[in-house]
Amino acid sequence: MKKLLIAAALATAFTAPALAQGAPPPPAVEAGKDLAAIVTLPATSDEFKQIDVMSGGWPAGGDIPFKYTQYEGNEFPGLHWTDGPEGTQSYAIIMQDTDFVARGAPILHWSIVNIPASQTSLKVGMKPEEKPAGSIYGPNYKGATQPYLGPRTPPGPKHRYHIQVFALDTLLPADFAPKSYAELIEPLKGHVLASGSVMGLGQEKKAQ
C-alpha cells in the first residue's frame, strides 16, 4: 500500500462506550481497526512495522495492580519493547485512559520523548529523575513536563489504559516542552516508523 497508517494517538472525537457492570473486559484497541478510536499518522515508509510492547507490571489485557496506581504507591510498572526498524533515532511513549474523555480527548497519564534508539526498556520502579539520558517528559492531565502518573480509576466499570510506543526517525529539540496533547503529537507526524501498545485494566480501590 502506498500509504500505510499506524496508530499514533487516540482520537479527540472518541467517546468510550459504557461498560456494563460485571461484563467481560473489551479487547485491546488494535492499530487501524477500532474505527473512530484512533487518530492515524502517515508512516514514513510503505511497509508497516509492529513493535511488541510488554509491561513489567501486568500481563497484556490484565488488571493493573494497585501499587502502580495513584491509589497506592504510583510506582512505575516497567516497560519493554522490541527494537524499532532500521533508521530509528528515538522512541516516544504515550499512556492514555481510553474510557475517560476530558475536553474531547482520552485523558493523558504519561508521555516521554527522545528515548535513545539503543534503549528498549524502562525498569520497574523507575524514579522521575532516572529517566533515560536526553529524554524529555511531556504533559499529562496535571500539567506540562510530568513524570508517570498511574491510574486512579473512578467508581464504576474498569477502564482501559493503553501505553503506546513509537519508533521515530528523528530526535525532537532539547528544549521541546509541549503543554498539551496536541502540541505533543504534532512533531511526531510523518516521523513514525513503527508502533505498538500494551493495555491494562484499572479499577477503583474501595475503602476497606
Task: Find out whether 81 and 120 touch, Cβ atoms under 8 Å.
Answer: yes
Give the global pTM.
0.80
Query: Which pLDDT belongs to residue 85?
Result: 93
- d(C-alpha 204, C-alpha 132), whole Å: 31
Query: Which pLDDT belongs to residue 54?
Result: 97
Domains of the chain: 1-12+68-208 (3.90.280.10)
Query: Which pLDDT belongs to residue 49?
Result: 82
Mean pLDDT by 10 residues, the chain (208 residues): 37 31 41 34 67 94 97 97 96 92 81 98 97 97 95 94 93 95 89 92 88
Q: What value, to the nearest 5°, has the Cα angle with vertex 47 and ends 43 and 52?
A: 85
Q: Is 143 helix (H, G, I), strand (E, B) or coil?
A: strand
